[in-house]
Structure 1
Amino acid sequence: MEKKRIAVAVDGSRFSPKVMDKAIEYAKLLGADMVFVYCHKKYPRILGQPYRDQIISEINDQAKETVSPYLEQLEDSGVPFTVRLMEEPAGTMIPEVARDEKCDLIIMGSRGLSNLQGLIIGSVTHRVLHVAECDVMVVK
């Protein structure tokens, strides 16, 4: 039997700690490896130097700050994991990473940091549910 692999996607929203707890629980239960996925803001395309490098550095610093507590939690859990820091759009990148990494399951939150209010399910989650080739667990 092949080793199971779980992709866990966080965005720093209020759902992220619960997503991590659930992902670690399932990884331990299944004896699975984990692929940690975080999608940061897009890098600027039409911005001259040195401003472009400064913005990229700020985006990378913010991403590291956001993911740091989750990576510490994963290290403490003892679950084997790899990290994929990707550029948005998250709704496209999460299923792509899961496919490329041959994940059996994606675990993510029901709503994230999107500014679209009043939706029953977040737009990123909705996209992942429709595009992913593996099962998706939505944590709320």
Structure 2
Amino acid sequence: MQIRKILVPVDGSEHSTKAARYAVDFAKLVGAELLLLNCRMQVPPMLGPDAYEQAKIGLQNRSNELLEPYRILLRGAGVAFTDRIMEGPVEDAIVQLADFEKCDLIIMGSRGHSDLEGLLVGSTTHRVLQIAACPVTVVR
């Protein structure tokens, strides 16, 4: 099995930062490219056109700001990467992007930013483990 592309979902949490660092080391070891993903919330369609656009731009900017420290980390490590911002249910976005981009592996944190911080494995991580077609490595 050759690992060429690794998906790394990030949300700014300590766990996703640890997962990104682990993914950098792993990518260097196997010569893989990383694909960073930040999933943002959907903009409610019932907003008026102006408010909808403002909300969409604001969320896009926030995702870009969140991704920037990860971009700096990967550039500094000399690891090839691309990044994506998607909206919608996080676990669905992760699995869909992994399938679409033909990722060989997903590396993600055991928990992220959520109201369920006390769980051993976060609900998003648990769901990705259940539905992903490729292997998933969970970093804690």
1:70 corresponds to 2:89: no
What residue is the counterpart of 2:132 in the other structure?
132
Q: Are 1:44 and 1:56, in contact at CA under 8 Å, matched by a contact in 2?
A: no
What residue is the counterpart of 2:50 in the other structure?
50
Give the partner amino acid of 1:85.
I
What residue is the counterpart of 1:30 in the other structure?
30
Give the partner amino acid of 2:55.
I
Deviations 1:110-129 (A, max 9, x none): 01111124322111101100
- C-alpha distance in 1, partners of 2:64/2:84? 12
What residue is the counterpart of 2:79 in the other structure?
79
1:120 corresponds to 2:120: yes
Q: Report how far residue 94 of structure 1 moved.
A: 0.5
* Identity over aligned pairs, percent: 44
Structure 1 residues 17 and 2: CA distance shift in structure 2, 3 A: closer
- Normalised by the length of structure 2, the TM-score is 0.93
Give the partner amino acid of 1:9.
P
- C-alpha distance in 1, partners of 2:69/2:62? 13
Question: Following TM superposition, where does structure 1 have runs of at least 4 consecutive aligned residues deviating by more than 4 angstroms?
Answer: none
Q: Report how far residue 16 of structure 1 moved.
A: 2.0
Q: Report how far residue 88 of structure 1 moved.
A: 2.4
- C-alpha distance in 2, partners of 1:95/1:28? 23
RMSD: 1.5
Q: Report how far residue 103 of structure 1 moved.
A: 1.0
Structure 1 residues 82 and 117: CA distance shift in structure 2, 3 A: closer
Q: Report how far residue 98 of structure 1 moved.
A: 0.9
Deviations 1:4-30 (A, max 9, x none): 111111111121221111000000000
Deviations 1:19-78 (A, max 9, x none): 111000000000011111110111221100211111111111111111111011111221
Deviations 1:80-99 (A, max 9, x none): 11111111211111111111
Q: What SS does the aligned partner of 1:15 have? A: helix
What residue is the counterpart of 2:7 in the other structure?
7
